[in-house]
């Protein structure tokens, strides 16, 4: 009995020492981030990591930056080779619909506390979990994707008359009239329907769907519905406008290249735009270009905009210490009441939390408040539909075929055959 008591006392002395040693151990984790606002800028990301290390000095965070041209291939290759990072920053269309569907991510239900659930909208929460109700993303920020016009060019072409300047909206008929006015004023190209790849494809999807109030998927996101009468009519109209020289299909550029052509003054509108993109390009504008963000033209009263939700997922690399360190990092970035404001401000978007407001008033990013009302036009977050990666590939191929003069109904039928498997 005395020996048992002595052993017990020894263990009581050893356990605190072991705990202290664990606290002193350095855990190293790796973050991969797509270029979501400031999360694609190393200087800003390193500032965030420095803030984190001021509180958690024993967790070292390495960073690798992905782009939307090669990022998907890099992640897929890493998943196949089992060399994935610990944390990845992107949206549900990748984290939930692709990586979690491949059983590559760690469930994050424990991050979704009652407090978080009460502060984050049901729509955002729904997009961050799979069909079984398991959360695989913890969100930080969101926005409504939109388009943009060169206000100065529109003014010179007397095309502002076709726009509701207060609401930043226009009708399909008004859009056509504006295109004609721009061409008559000597502006060409007006807008470019980019289709060399999937980068920025939310812009072309929204353009097509809004023109005649079509839907991209069924209400339950189980199948794609581009073969509806409304969507075929929209693609047919775009093809007609292109044939008339009012707009152009360009199979040589993607969304990033399209917005660069707008920024340098070549085209007079861009379909791949949002609040953070303005922040990254305000200092790059060609002389005379004047930004005026717009919703997409629609034949009904209000447009439906594609939404962006960005947050964190954790790859399951089988290391419990790294997983816990990754969760600690995510909690700090998204939940800390001081840091979450810095994190969202860095993104250039808007917080998913109703409690985090007034980020940009009185700051150098005050111009972002222009985009806040666009959130009211958010449509379905359909990016979690099945075969999402296949659909994105087939989408730009569909646009290329339509732009080359293919029969719209036939080309859409081929697209539907390939994506609704």
- DSSP run (H or E) holding 280: helix 275-281
Please determine, for residue 292, whether its predicted confidence score (pLDDT) is greater than 80: yes
* Whole-model pTM over 0.75: yes
pLDDT digits (tens, 9 = 90+) for 30-46: 999 999 999 999 999 99
Binning the chain into helix, strand and coil, the percentages to the nearest 5 are 50, 15, 35
Q: Which residues touch 85 (CB under 8 Å, ≥6 apart)?
A: 29, 30, 31, 32, 64, 78, 315
Backbone angles phi, psi at 368, to 5 degrees: -65, -20
Q: Residue 135 — φ and ψ, nearest 5°?
A: -80, 130
Does the pLDDT value for residue 111 go beyond 90?
yes
Residues 244-259: tens digit of each pLDDT: 999 999 999 999 999 9
Distance, CA of 139 to CA of 127 (rounded, Å)? 10
Rounded Cα gap, residues 154 and 252, in angstroms: 26
For residue 165, give the nearest of 176, 174, 173, 156 by alpha carbon: 174
Model confidence pLDDT, tens digit, residues 3-21: 444 444 444 443 343 333 3
Q: Which helix (H) or strand (E) holds 125?
A: helix 122-127
**How is residue 39 annotated by DSSP?**
G
Within 10 A of 382 (CB to CB), how many other CB atoms are there?
A: 22
Predicted confidence (pLDDT) per residue in 147-159, tens digit: 999 999 999 999 9
pLDDT range class, residue 317, cuts 50, 70, 90:
very high
Element of type H or E holding 411 = helix 408-419
How far apart, in whole angstroms, are the C-alpha atoms of residue 147 and residue 268? 11
Separation of alpha carbons 169 and 296, rounded Å:
7
Give the residue ranges of DSSP H helices in 56-90: 71-81
Three-state DSSP class for residue 143: strand
């Amino acid at each position: 009995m005395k020996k048992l008591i002595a052993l017990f006392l020894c263990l009581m002395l050893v356990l605190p020492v072991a705990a202290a040693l664990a606290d002193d151990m350095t855990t190293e984790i790796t973050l991969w981030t797509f270029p979501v606002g400031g999360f694609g800028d190393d200087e800003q990301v390193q500032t965030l990591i420095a803030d984190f290390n001021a509180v958690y000095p024993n967790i070292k965070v390495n960073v690798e930056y992905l782009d939307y041209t090669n990022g998907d291939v890099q992640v897929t290759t890493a998943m196949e080779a089992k060399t994935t990072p610990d944390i990845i920053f992107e949206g549900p269309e990748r984290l939930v619909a692709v990586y979690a569907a491949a059983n590559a991510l760690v469930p994050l239900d424990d991050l979704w506390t009652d407090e978080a659930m009460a502060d984050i909208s049901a729509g955002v929460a729904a997009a961050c979990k799979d069909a079984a109700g398991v959360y695989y993303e913890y969100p930080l920020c969101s926005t409504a994707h939109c388009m943009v016009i060169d206000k100065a060019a529109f003014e010179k072409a007397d095309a502002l008359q076709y726009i509701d300047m207060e609401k930043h909206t226009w009708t399909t008929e008004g859009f056509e009239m504006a295109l004609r006015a721009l061409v008559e004023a000597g502006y060409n190209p007006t807008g470019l329907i980019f289709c060399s790849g999937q980068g920025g494809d939310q812009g072309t999807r929204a353009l097509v769907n809004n023109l005649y109030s079509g839907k991209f998927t069924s209400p339950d996101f189980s199948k794609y519905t581009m073969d509806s009468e409304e969507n075929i009519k929209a693609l047919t109209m775009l093809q007609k406008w292109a044939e008339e020289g009012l707009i152009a299909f360009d199979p040589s550029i993607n969304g990033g290249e399209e917005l660069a052509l707008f920024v340098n003054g070549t085209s007079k509108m861009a379909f791949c735009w949002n609040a953070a993109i303005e922040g990254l390009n305000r200092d790059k504008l060609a002389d005379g270009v004047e930004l005026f963000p717009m919703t997409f033209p629609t034949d009904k009263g209000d447009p439906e905009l594609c939404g962006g939700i960005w947050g964190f997922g954790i790859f399951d690399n089988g290391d419990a210490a790294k997983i816990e360190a990754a969760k600690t990092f995510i909690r700090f970035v998204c939940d800390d009441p001081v840091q979450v404001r810095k994190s969202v401000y860095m993104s250039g978007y808007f917080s998913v939390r109703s409690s985090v407001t007034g980020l940009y008033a009185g700051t150098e990013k005050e111009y972002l408040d222009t985009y806040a009302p666009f959130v009211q036009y958010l449509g379905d977050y359909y990016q979690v539909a099945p075969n999402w990666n296949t659909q994105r590939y087939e989408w730009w191929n569909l646009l290329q075929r339509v732009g080359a003069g293919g029969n719209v109904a036939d080309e859409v039928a081929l697209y539907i055959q390939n994506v609704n498997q």
